[in-house]
Structure 1
Amino acid sequence: MVIDGYVTELERVLVGPPRVKRDMVVEARDSLLDAAEALQARGLSREEAERRAVAEFGTIEEVAPGYQEELTACAGRRLGWVLLLVGPLTWLLWWGIWRVFPGDAGGWTQPPEWYAVVARVLDGTQLFTGAVGGVLLLALGRFGRTVRRTRLVTRAAAIYAKALLPVTLGLCVPLLYGAGPVGAHMLPWAVAAVVSLLLLGVQMRHAVRCLRLVRLAPAA
């Protein structure tokens, strides 16, 4: 079948979120079948109708870039939602921990000046990450892709998200060293640390997926 071969090749060429790609391919196949049935009703043979439908639909080289851009945008939007939620949520988690379960300032009567600076930088980074997620969602939304820079925007956001792991860990180490929880406070601090690592892991996972996608995807 001409349409089956065309759809199989289209699915092979495209890379991106599996469910979204499958839906796109199914939609393309349905459109081709509808067009072929309409042509067949006008007197063409089944094979000729399928060939005509495929020709009118466009070659793989012509249609794949448009589908690929949408797949890349979909992966980028998912990363955007993760950044929008993970950054502020992590900030809120530790904001609550510091106030409900304050740690012992490591024996310091007066914490050094760098301690407050590092804490503010970490807070700012987490809140800024949420802002980056919001901007990414706007940039890859229906009204934000008129310039057609989907791959560039997705790649830049993924690099930022991937770099956050070592940056965040580098900022957290001196803070935890300077204000280690003791006694009954150990459990909530440990839970907060585990949750933070899990959130960072989700963020890293989506960032790596986006970077892999923009490397493998054929250029539009």
Structure 2
Amino acid sequence: MRGRRAGVMMGAGHPWDGGPREQGEQVDAGVIDDYVAELGRTLRGPRGLRLDLVAEARDSLLDAAEALEDGGLERAEAERAAVEEFGAVHEIAPGYQEELSVAAGRRLAALLFLAVPLTAVMWTLIWKLFPTAPVAYDARPGWFVPVARAVDVTQMAIGMLGALALLALGRGRRRIRRPWLVARALALFVWAMMPVMLVMCWALMYGSNRPAGFSDYPPGLAASAVSYGFWGLQLYCATRCLSLTRGRPAAA
């Protein structure tokens, strides 16, 4: 029965909304529906994948029950037998939960891979396009340029780390014994780097002496809004990963 291999499978069915699987299918599937409802309440993680996994579990149970019913069992007895063979919720849920935790880690990795380097490029262009008088550059402290370069290098490094994590949680997942640890480590890294980036960015704002006209410069305002949005999204995804990987979601 596929339920006992939940840690290595990915749902492919459509999300189940509580209705019949196909038109004309028997609606009364009480034992299976109760089991699937409990499984859905137990799992946490990305909604789309969670619904897919629950839908696949339900499809598998219905197929097994129909086969047992064709073999001579009553419908209710066939459903109970299918559920018993599939495994108790507390036995199979860890496998499904690990799948969801890894999926959340992939989302965070993809966000870092795309958003952080994009932010660095965006601000580089902003400062190249913003009309600043030469005297404003001369007034900046000596540490300004090294800190600015450190911010750029750090952002690019974070993007590369996101790419590596995305690869590890994708094609390289089979070679990793505990992929959920990669997701958790990535989330912890995001939380650790956020105050570092905030301090360096604040230092750049302080060292730039607030160029005249920048406070109402439309591209600068747009870049600031995008940057804050990306930071907030990173923290949200990192917090979500930490929540999903708390403890050890090892497959049963």
TM-score of the alignment, normalized to the shorter chain, above 0.5: yes
Relative to 1, partners in 2 of residues 1:82 and 1:184: Cα closer, same or farther, differing over 3 Å?
Answer: closer
Relative to 1, partners in 2 of residues 1:216 and 1:144: Cα closer, same or farther, differing over 3 Å?
Answer: closer
Q: What CA distance in whole angstroms lies between the structure 1 residues aligned with 2:32 and 2:172? A: 33
Alignment deviations for residues 144-174 of structure 1 (CA, whole Å, 9 cap, x no partner): 2433322211111011112333222100112
Report which stretch shifted further, 94-103 or 184-193: 184-193
Query: Is residue 2:116 matched to residue 1:100?
Result: no
TM-score (norm 1): 0.90
Where do 5+ consecutive residues of structure 1 fail to align? none
Alignment deviations for residues 37-68 of structure 1 (CA, whole Å, 9 cap, x no partner): 11101111112211221222222233212111
Deviation at 1:202, TM superposition (A): 1.2
Query: Is residue 2:188 matched to residue 1:181?
Result: no
Relative to 1, partners in 2 of residues 1:218 and 1:185: Cα closer, same or farther, differing over 3 Å?
Answer: closer
Helix, strand or coil at the partner of 1:113: coil
Helix, strand or coil at the partner of 2:73: coil
Aligned pairs for 1:93-172 within 5 A: 93-101=122-130, 103=132, 107=136, 109=138, 111-172=140-201
Identity %: 50
Kept in 1, the 8 Å contact 2:116–2:159? The answer is: yes
Match of 1:195 among 226, 229, 236: 226
Q: What CA distance in whole angstroms lies between the structure 2 residues aligned with 1:39 and 1:142? A: 37
Aligned to 2:25: none
Alignment deviations for residues 101-133 of structure 1 (CA, whole Å, 9 cap, x no partner): 154588563643321211111001111111111
Kept in 1, the 8 Å contact 2:214–2:220? The answer is: no
Aligned to 2:12: none
Aligned to 1:76: 105
Relative to 1, partners in 2 of residues 1:65 and 1:106: Cα closer, same or farther, differing over 3 Å?
Answer: farther
Deviation at 1:184, TM superposition (A): 6.4
Q: What CA distance in whole angstroms lies between the structure 2 residues aligned with 1:10 and 1:100? A: 54
Helix, strand or coil at the partner of 1:25: helix
Relative to 1, partners in 2 of residues 1:108 and 1:143: Cα closer, same or farther, differing over 3 Å?
Answer: closer
Helix, strand or coil at the partner of 2:172: coil
Report which stretch shifted further, 174-183 or 91-100: 174-183
Match of 1:11 among 7, 17, 40: 40
Q: What CA distance in whole angstroms lies between the structure 2 residues aligned with 1:166 and 1:104? A: 31
TM-score (norm 2): 0.79
Aligned length: 220
Aligned to 1:24: 53
Kept in 2, the 8 Å contact 1:93–1:192? The answer is: yes
Q: What CA distance in whole angstroms lies between the structure 1 residues aligned with 2:71 and 2:231? A: 58
Q: What CA distance in whole angstroms lies between the structure 2 residues aligned with 1:217 and 1:19? A: 23
Relative to 1, partners in 2 of residues 1:216 and 1:13: Cα closer, same or farther, differing over 3 Å?
Answer: farther
Match of 1:40 among 55, 69, 75: 69
Aligned to 1:206: 237
